Homo-oligomer: A and B are copies of this chain.
Amino acid sequence: MNIGEAAARTGLPAKTIRYYEEIRLIQPHRAENGYRSFDEKDLHKLSFLARARALGFSIEDCRMLLALYEDETRASADVKRVAEGHLKRIDQKIADLEAMRATLSELVEACAGDHRPDCPILKGLSGQSAGLQG
């Protein structure tokens, strides 16, 4: 099938599919007219990629996971290691965001939010108030 149908069936934009070919995540065949030709195996790989990306795996993680997916002699430990690394990064991001959230929400709650110019948020950002480290 052509790229349009592959896009429709995997939910990935055609542009993204071309990009995945360019960075050699997939290698669809070419028809005589030069059009990319996708088979079921390509579709499976694209769907795999779509799910892995939706879980936040980097492209390089995806490349590794795809290689493991295709390697029938893989050890599940190798897959798990990649996933645990990603999990750790997710946890770190969540922690960072929670920290931001805590400080910011403190400032927001202290701000009257009316017509007057006095503003604890700006005070906090300008370093005139406690609650902001760094």
Chain A residues with CB under 8 Å of chain B are: 11, 44, 47-48, 50-52, 54-56, 65, 68-69, 71-77, 79-81, 83-84, 86-87, 90-91, 93-94, 97-98, 100-101, 103-105, 107-108, 111-119, 121-122, 124-127, 132, 134
Q: Is the CB of B47 within 8 A of A126?
A: yes
Could you say how many copies of this chain the assembly holds? 2
Q: Nearest chain B CB to A6's CB is how many angstroms away? A: 15
Q: Is the CB of B117 within 8 A of A72?
A: yes
A116 CA to B68 CA, complexed, in Å: 12
**Which residues does chain B contribute within 8 Å of A69, judged by CB atoms?**
122, 125-126
Sampled A-B contacts (20; CB under 8 Å): A11-B134, A51-B134, A55-B104, A55-B125, A65-B125, A71-B117, A73-B117, A74-B122, A75-B115, A76-B113, A76-B119, A76-B121, A80-B113, A80-B119, A83-B104, A83-B121, A87-B101, A90-B101, A90-B104, A93-B97
